[in-house]
Structure 1
Amino acid sequence: MRILVLTHYYAPEYGAPQRRWSALVSRFIAAGHRVTVAAPVPHYPSGRPTVEQRRDHRVGGAEHGAHGETVLRTAYLPHLGDIGTRTADHLVAALDALCRLRRRFGRPEDRPEVIVATAPAIPTLLVGRLLSARWGVPLVVEMRDAWPDLVTQVGGAARVVPGAVVAAVRAAGDAGERPERREGAARVLSLGRLRSSVVALAKRVVHRQVTDWQTEAYAVVTTTSRFADVLRERGVPTVHVVRNGTELSRVRAQRDHPPGDHAELRCLYLGNMGRSQGLETVVRAAAVLAREGVSLRVRLVGHGVAAPALAALARELEAPVEVLPRIPHCEVGAQYAWADSVVVSLRSWAPFAWTVPSKLYEILATGRHVTALLEGEAADIVRDSGAGDVLPPEDVAALVELWRGLAADRSRTAVRASGRNWVSEHADDDELARTYLEILREVVAD
């Protein structure tokens, strides 16, 4: 089978989508299939390639991938990590991929038998749709998370108040008898309302368009059962579930710390530090416990737009929280070895009830206790695996109570085999790849 994978994120970058597709592609190749991957020159997460990446990867180059796949490198746009410049980067990469793939597969006999387009980024889905229609090749749409619902999440957007609007409100309050100041404030407020209306309209358009692409695809693959159910309710006819997974042989099962090894309770967060994670809850809980005299250390390790604000909040509250930069994956095991409990956190937004953070599977495989600020399917996995304690997202009081209890009775954080056993049964890469290949075979056979 000739398979074309369209993705914005691919090795040698390291992240959840990159790891997923490296695991799948290696097994597709081992099973005798031919795989071509179209992806930009590596530039995640900084938004720009490193010196080595710029030297080793060229726009338009056709590389021999680590597993025997062909990797066609497309253009990219350096970005700052914000949604605006990242979206522009996604569009540039998608348009370049469309042009290059049309040329590369100009002869019908060379074309793939199936196209897999994976989101994020959403423009990648458009490329898949256009190529599928032009070539008469079936398209499989992969939704790694609850897209487009996370992009169009009303709750998240409602939390952002433009600075100009805040200034206008203050100005209106101070204006008193000065009508020109009141008029200026009113104009700013009107502009703020107009901007909010335009953003809301754009979100509705994106949501409707992505749902149309999902409905028109030969099949949709999601990573969670709950989001699959949501898509079926929306009328998407063929939806399959292929979880994110982990390779157990590469994740070392941790051991309990020796008695007296350290006095404090050690809690670790490892991963993206963005708006979605709600990690200010962790910082505030740590500050409360420190004021109570509870011996506690918290590490937040990773990258993201919220990292500076989290570090500033920890300083302001005098919380025992370190905010550390992203580390190479080869150093992750040392962080798990340091910890007593590992935090997995998402905000209380509706789409997150249908989402499972990919890092959760790796954490389960370590055997470490999980502090889960989660709801929905991710919370169910922690409960079913017996891997830790589940709390309501963004609930500072509940987290304070849990960590107070863990600090008083460290036996509650003992390493357990149940999480690793759950991964072996439900999220092993070998079985996930077999399931995915069977889906692709069915699509091609139709």
Structure 2
Amino acid sequence: MRRQQNRAILLVTHHFAPESGAPQRRWGALAGHLVPAGYPLTVLTPPPHSPSGKITHFSPDYRPGSVRSGSHGEKIIRVNYREHSHGLGSRAADQVVAAVSSVLRGVRPAAGRPAVVIATVPGIPSVVAGWALARWHRARFVVEMRDAWPDLIAPSGILRRRGRKLGLRRGARDLVARVVHRTVTRLQARADLVVTTTAAFAEVLRSRGVRNVAVVRNGTAFEPVRENAPVVVTDRPLRVVYAGTVGRSQGLDVAVRAAALVQERGHALDVRIVGHGNELEPLRLLADELGAPVRVEPSVPSTEVRALYAWADTVMVSLRDWEPFEWTVPSKLYEVMASGVTASACLAGEAASLVTANGAGAVVRPGDVEGLADLWCGWLSDGVVPAASTDAATWVAEHASDAVLGHRYTELLDELLPHPLVGHAGRGARY
């Protein structure tokens, strides 16, 4: 005979609905699966203020301290935040404020008594907050690494650029990077479970001695926008779309430079970069400087992305040539694979392998302007863009659909919380 099992989850995250973005969409989908599966979910999160840094919804339901029910029955507790700019220091300060507030609110009765505390990155301070709350509640501790943090700190140069502005010497910047890396790695090692979104990063963590690592990919519910058939481009420009975050990580200057080169070679194309991020204006200026056939446009609602993909002959997915990105698969790739539109993929590592193995499109080395220009010129010379294989959408349905990922997360939590027998206190969290 078994006693009733505590299966409550406390999620610490810096991003949640009604914000839009990959982290928000991921946990919206997971909540819709976990709550009906018998895992009550309480979320500690700031008011919606991404990506601008300023609050975007002014209803009392979103103020710090408010408690309300989400669309899937999850309880959402809003924590304090700090308005921020796009600068690293300002964003980090906001994350620290939210993390401290999460701890203070997470020990109050409204947060309940969780059996599992999940801390999700981005928002590295969220991991520290999650660890503290797991200790307080004697709960299992799960670290969810959406990207290869903190490994991205060094190649991205964010500490180097910010450190120069603050007058920090190189030694001080290096010390900060080492401390952050060591802190996150130790918390990963102390976690009962570390969830990554790629198999490659899972292997990296296992090589560092992290004992329990599982993969739950980012997912998508995107439906095909066209049949998998070649697109004829003999009498019009090649239509290229990028839709998503426009930041340094994406390295979209390669698209602008390649478009200018294709035009110099006498071919016609129409490139649209649609999204939000720090690089919108620099890309617009670069396109003007080069006279490139590129339109840089603000983001559109998710409901309009399908129309963008239906217009396009090819959809671009791009990351910079940084080693940690070889362990990363951008969530945008799954969306493109599901859409049936041929991908122009400036990717390496696991992401590039997924494109190649499933016939989702063509792969160009990240940052390779000549290679991307050659690809597009080749399609224009042939007068046709090859069709993406149906294998791409099939792979997404089997490995990266919301239903599959929700089921996988439930399995992991079932393993983490074995049903105790009556009279058995169960095993407490160990840190």
Q: Same fold (TM over 0.5)?
A: yes
Structure-2 residue corresponding to 1:390? 363
Structure-2 residue corresponding to 1:64? 69
Structure 2 residue 187 is matched with structure 1 residue 213: yes
Q: Superposition pairs for residues 47-196 of structure 1, below 5 Å?
A: 47-50=53-56, 52-104=57-109, 110-150=112-152, 152-154=153-155, 156=157, 194-196=168-170
Structure 2 residue 417 is matched with structure 1 residue 441: no
- Secondary structure in 2 matching 1:330: helix
Structure-1 residue corresponding to 2:422? none
Query: 1:74 touches 1:93 (CA, 8 Å); kept in 2?
Result: yes
Give the one of 320, 324, 330 matched to 1:357: 330
Q: Superposition pairs for residues 371-382 of structure 1, below 5 Å?
A: 371-382=344-355
Structure 2 residue 201 is matched with structure 1 residue 199: no
| TM-score, length basis structure 1 | 0.88
Say which structure is richer in helix.
1
Specify whether residues 424 and 241 from structure 1 end up closer, same or farther in structure 2 by C-alpha distance, changes over 3 A only: same
Q: Displacement, 1:258?
A: 7.5
Structure-2 residue corresponding to 1:432? 405
The number of residues matched between the two structures is 412
Query: 2:233 touches 2:383 (CA, 8 Å); kept in 1?
Result: no
Query: 1:10 touches 1:18 (CA, 8 Å); kept in 2?
Result: yes
Specify whether residues 154 and 246 from structure 1 end up closer, same or farther in structure 2 by C-alpha distance, changes over 3 A only: closer
If asked which structure has higher relative contact order (CA below 8 Å, sep 6+), I would say 2
Q: Displacement, 1:131?
A: 1.1
Q: Displacement, 1:56?
A: 4.1
Q: Displacement, 1:344?
A: 0.6
Query: For residues 78 and 162 of structure 2, what CA distance do their matches in structure 1 show?
Result: 39
Q: Displacement, 1:364?
A: 0.5
Query: For residues 158 and 391 of structure 1, what CA distance do their matches in structure 2 show?
Result: 29
Structure-2 residue corresponding to 1:338? 311
Q: Displacement, 1:156?
A: 3.7
Structure-1 residue corresponding to 2:424? none
Structure-2 residue corresponding to 1:42? 48
Query: For residues 240 and 415 of structure 1, what CA distance do their matches in structure 2 show?
Result: 30
Specify whether residues 37 and 262 from structure 1 end up closer, same or farther in structure 2 by C-alpha distance, changes over 3 A only: farther
Specify whether residues 27 and 85 from structure 1 end up closer, same or farther in structure 2 by C-alpha distance, changes over 3 A only: same
- Secondary structure in 2 matching 1:363: helix
Query: 1:368 touches 1:416 (CA, 8 Å); kept in 2?
Result: no
Query: 2:231 touches 2:385 (CA, 8 Å); kept in 1?
Result: no
Structure 2 counterpart of 1:144, one-letter code? R
Give the one of 22, 26, 38 matched to 1:20: 26
Query: For residues 360 and 68 of structure 2, what CA distance do their matches in structure 1 show?
Result: 41
Structure-2 residue corresponding to 1:285? 258
Query: For residues 440 and 101 of structure 1, what CA distance do their matches in structure 2 show?
Result: 20
Structure-1 residue corresponding to 2:4? none
Query: For residues 260 and 291 of structure 1, what CA distance do their matches in structure 2 show?
Result: 18
Query: For residues 163 and 120 of structure 1, what CA distance do their matches in structure 2 show?
Result: 24
Structure-2 residue corresponding to 1:30? 36
- Secondary structure in 1 matching 2:315: strand
Structure 1 counterpart of 2:338, one-letter code? A
Query: For residues 11 and 357 of structure 2, what CA distance do their matches in structure 1 show?
Result: 33
Specify whether residues 142 and 382 from structure 1 end up closer, same or farther in structure 2 by C-alpha distance, changes over 3 A only: same
Structure-2 residue corresponding to 1:188? none
Structure 2 counterpart of 1:384, one-letter code? A
Specify whether residues 390 and 61 from structure 1 end up closer, same or farther in structure 2 by C-alpha distance, changes over 3 A only: same
Specify whether residues 262 and 38 from structure 1 end up closer, same or farther in structure 2 by C-alpha distance, changes over 3 A only: farther
- Secondary structure in 2 matching 1:140: strand
Q: Displacement, 1:418?
A: 2.2
Query: For residues 207 and 246 of structure 1, what CA distance do their matches in structure 2 show?
Result: 30
Query: For residues 9 and 292 of structure 2, what CA distance do their matches in structure 1 show?
Result: 50
Query: For residues 394 and 262 of structure 1, what CA distance do their matches in structure 2 show?
Result: 29
- Secondary structure in 1 matching 2:86: coil
Query: For residues 61 and 189 of structure 2, what CA distance do their matches in structure 1 show?
Result: 39
Structure-1 residue corresponding to 2:284? 311
Query: For residues 292 and 113 of structure 1, what CA distance do their matches in structure 2 show?
Result: 62
Structure-2 residue corresponding to 1:7? 13
Indicate the RMSD between aligned Cα atoms, in angstroms.
Answer: 2.1
Structure 2 counterpart of 1:207, one-letter code? H
Query: 2:42 touches 2:76 (CA, 8 Å); kept in 1?
Result: yes
Structure 2 counterpart of 1:19, one-letter code? R
Specify whether residues 254 and 196 from structure 1 end up closer, same or farther in structure 2 by C-alpha distance, changes over 3 A only: farther
- Secondary structure in 2 matching 1:322: strand
| Percent pairwise identity | 47
Deviations 1:91-129 (A, max 9, x none): 1111111111112368xxx40111111011011101111
Q: Displacement, 1:425?
A: 1.6
Structure-2 residue corresponding to 1:240? 214
Structure 1 counterpart of 2:398, one-letter code? E
Deviations 1:23-54 (A, max 9, x none): 1110011213211111111111111122x444
Gaps of 5+ in 1: 165-190
Structure 2 counterpart of 1:263, one-letter code? R
Structure-1 residue corresponding to 2:199? 225
- Secondary structure in 2 matching 1:240: strand
Query: 1:367 touches 1:418 (CA, 8 Å); kept in 2?
Result: no
Structure 1 counterpart of 2:95, one-letter code? H
Which structure has the larger Rg?
A: 1
Query: For residues 336 and 298 of structure 1, what CA distance do their matches in structure 2 show?
Result: 12
Query: 1:341 touches 1:413 (CA, 8 Å); kept in 2?
Result: no
